[in-house]
Structure 1
Amino acid sequence: MPKSKKPVTFTNSFKKPNPSQINNKIKTPALKQLIQNGGIKQNYKNPNSIIREYHNLNKRKAIIKSKLDSLPNKQNDTQIKVLILEQTEIDLKLDALGGLDAYQKSSLLGQSTKKGGDTSRYLIKHLFNINFLPSLNPIKLLDVGSLSPNNYEKEKKWIKTDCIDLNSQHPKISKLDFFDVPLSNPDNNSEISVHGPYDIVSLSLVVNFEGDIHKRGQMLIHAAKLLIEKPGILFLVLPLPCITNSRYFNEQRLLDIACAVGFEELLSSHHSTKLAYYIFRLSNKQKHVSHPQFKKTLLKDGPGKNNFCIAL
């Protein structure tokens, strides 16, 4: 009968271990390979591969954090140690990818107009279709997770754009968390350059980047708070598999959640080969105050499906 493996022991159970101090007795293959080779097995020269892997690792990291938060704080709890070890493995993988900086540069390359990746063009086309543009009065737009301050450059005579991102790659993009964007600037504080209310909030490929399913729902609620009711517009873009190939999510679920927080009118939707586009109008600003719960519920199981979900 084989001997049972001893649990990994850290000098300090709740301090993040230094990768250089982790010895070769740890049998997790990916971590062992990172230590020995200084890299990872897969070739990540393709920007899409970096983006995909970055999302997967962050989702797993969010799950681990949730588990750690729910466990009792016991110093000798083996389960906590195992989770911390896995968290360290993920951090090493993210570092091997190049971190958030590499992710954003890959996203920027993927957004190149030559590659057809600038989602803002779909929004602009629709705004002209519904006579929202051209506009006599300037339209205020918040571009969340912005990779380029020039996405709406052609429309600058009509649209004033506030660009924000957690890891800004450009001096014209403010380094700011979406949840920290104030709803207004009542005191006209000149130091607060980014604030609501907005005519349009763009959440293009950022909701799926958030690993916590409840924070994804909170992003939609915060968007509703930031918007001017009628004609407040939410531009939401998700990877197509989030809508068409998830165990816990589909288009009807998205429409139900959007309606629950005040986006009762779907102005436009479109599925390309890789992305799902939605343009909602805010018609009931107060609905986000008291809304039904949407928990993580199995909708359709099957092999090859992903676990994407938005919860309220």
Structure 2
Amino acid sequence: MLSRRRKTVTGKLIVERPPAIKPSKARRIIRRFHLLINKRRIICNKIGIKLLEGDESTNSERISEKLRLNDTQSFYDEGWNAQNPSSEYEAQMLKIQRLDDDIQLFRILGYIMSEIHQRGGLQNYQLASSMGQDRNRGGDSSKILMNWFKTIRTPGHQYRALEIGSLSAENAISTSGVFDPVIRIDLNSSDPAKIKRQDFMKRPLPPSDAEKFDLISCSLVLNFVPTPQLRGAMLHRFQHFLRLDVEKTYIFLVLPLPCVSNSRYMSKTLLCDIMEYLGYKQSHAHESSKIIYMLFQRSFGQKVHEEQVVREFSKKVLIRDKANMNNFSIVL
């Protein structure tokens, strides 16, 4: 029987390569997937479905059970079978926070789930994520971090790293030899053997310094956290994962540049002030046309007084207001 595996004329097997995705398209796919996941979370909170982050199998089972108990399968199916994209469903999805009609909520939930599971939303996201981190395409943000570490690392010290939102086990952090171990987590891991499927906010606190880290890398994650309060909680939680038995530990934070350059409620200065209150001093920063990269070193100096936190960091404060600005903010 002839083999169906493709070979060259010399008899060597042809290695199938994944399709290439342009960086601009990869960014659109990633943004779209996070939008769908965020809107699904809001709908499920409204109709009483508890989702598990990164566990699509369980989420599908829980949604199916809810449909059976509420006898709402027909409404869900209307959304599942709707034309995609649908201008009507897209408009309603964007305003989902103000929608309280359960029947329509189930329709939009079906519309979202169809794109995630039937129209390749999850698979496209995983492919776009891995392509975006491809070292050969300049997508690895940790290359900038490693350039900085060349000047600040202590020779002979073996650093430990936690990478939140990891997309590749072959990026500069993992291959530099500086960090051992590198613990990688992501809500929707495309490589569960090397990247653990986990929500950082639910990761158990390490009981000792032996399980803590010299570096936490949080690259293009904070901007996808759904609320300003949860973003603040995430920044605050970092301290519990950093070692106390060494003099210097670090936070590597990567954000879309508009989060600090084109927001009504956030600026680079304000972000640095928030981080300083939490105990970190900025040591390095770099801006590209679309991304800002920041490295913060943990400082054990005196913090800002609590009244300053209440005044400046515990609520959104309008810094500037122009047309086409975004509302990104962080609240402690």
Instruction: Map 1:22-171; keep pairs closer than 5 Å.
Output: 46-58=25-37, 79-81=99-101, 84=105, 88=109, 89-95=111-117, 98-130=120-152, 132-133=153-154, 135-151=155-171, 152-156=173-177, 158-170=179-191, 171=193
Q: CA deviation at 1:102?
A: 2.6
SS in 1 for 2:150: helix
CA distance in 2 between counterparts of 1:277 and 1:301 reads 24
Instruction: Map 1:243-258; keep pairs closer than 5 Å.
Output: 243-258=260-275
Contact 1:257 1:294 in 2 (8 A): no
Q: 1:67 to 1:169 in 2, by over 3 A?
A: closer
SS in 2 for 1:106: helix
Contact 2:216 2:250 in 1 (8 A): yes
The unaligned stretches of length 5 or more in structure 2 are: 1-22, 49-97
Which of 232, 240, 252 aligns to 2:249? It is 232
SS in 2 for 1:140: strand
SS in 2 for 1:242: helix
Question: Does 83-92 or 106-115 show the bigger shift?
Answer: 83-92
Aligned to 1:282: 298
Runs (4 or more) in structure 1 with deviation over 6 Å come to 62-69
Aligned to 2:72: none
Q: CA deviation at 1:287?
A: 5.5
Aligned to 2:90: none
Q: CA deviation at 1:157?
A: 5.5
Contact 1:248 1:299 in 2 (8 A): yes
Amino acid at match of 1:119: S
| Cα shift readout 1:188-223 (whole Å, capped 9, x = no counterpart) | 9xxxxxx84110000011111211221111111111
**Cα-Cα RMSD:** 3.3
Q: CA deviation at 1:59?
A: 5.2
Q: CA deviation at 1:159?
A: 3.5
Q: CA deviation at 1:124?
A: 0.8
Aligned to 1:308: 328
| Cα shift readout 1:21-54 (whole Å, capped 9, x = no counterpart) | xxxxxxxxxxxxxxxxxxxxxxx99222212323
Q: 1:100 to 1:271 in 2, by over 3 A?
A: same
Contact 1:197 1:226 in 2 (8 A): yes
Amino acid at match of 2:299: S
CA distance in 1 between counterparts of 2:122 and 2:237 reads 24
CA distance in 1 between counterparts of 2:331 and 2:46 reads 17
| Cα shift readout 1:220-244 (whole Å, capped 9, x = no counterpart) | 1111221125311000000111111
CA distance in 2 between counterparts of 1:173 and 1:295 reads 35
Q: 1:153 to 1:226 in 2, by over 3 A?
A: closer
Identity of aligned residues (%): 34
Contact 1:199 1:227 in 2 (8 A): yes
Q: 1:220 to 1:196 in 2, by over 3 A?
A: farther
Contact 1:197 1:228 in 2 (8 A): yes
Aligned residues: 251
Q: 1:261 to 1:84 in 2, by over 3 A?
A: farther
SS in 1 for 2:315: coil
Q: CA deviation at 1:166?
A: 1.7
Contact 1:237 1:277 in 2 (8 A): yes
Contact 1:199 1:233 in 2 (8 A): yes
The two structures have a TM-score, normalised by structure 1, of 0.69
The unaligned stretches of length 5 or more in structure 1 are: 1-43, 70-77, 189-194
Q: CA deviation at 1:128?
A: 1.0
SS in 1 for 2:224: coil
Q: 1:45 to 1:156 in 2, by over 3 A?
A: closer
CA distance in 2 between counterparts of 1:199 and 1:235 reads 11
Q: CA deviation at 1:107?
A: 1.9
Contact 1:225 1:285 in 2 (8 A): no
Quick check: 1:218 aligned with 2:227?
Answer: no
Question: Does 78-87 or 101-110 show the bigger shift?
Answer: 78-87
Aligned to 1:200: 215
CA distance in 1 between counterparts of 2:126 and 2:185 reads 13
Amino acid at match of 1:165: D
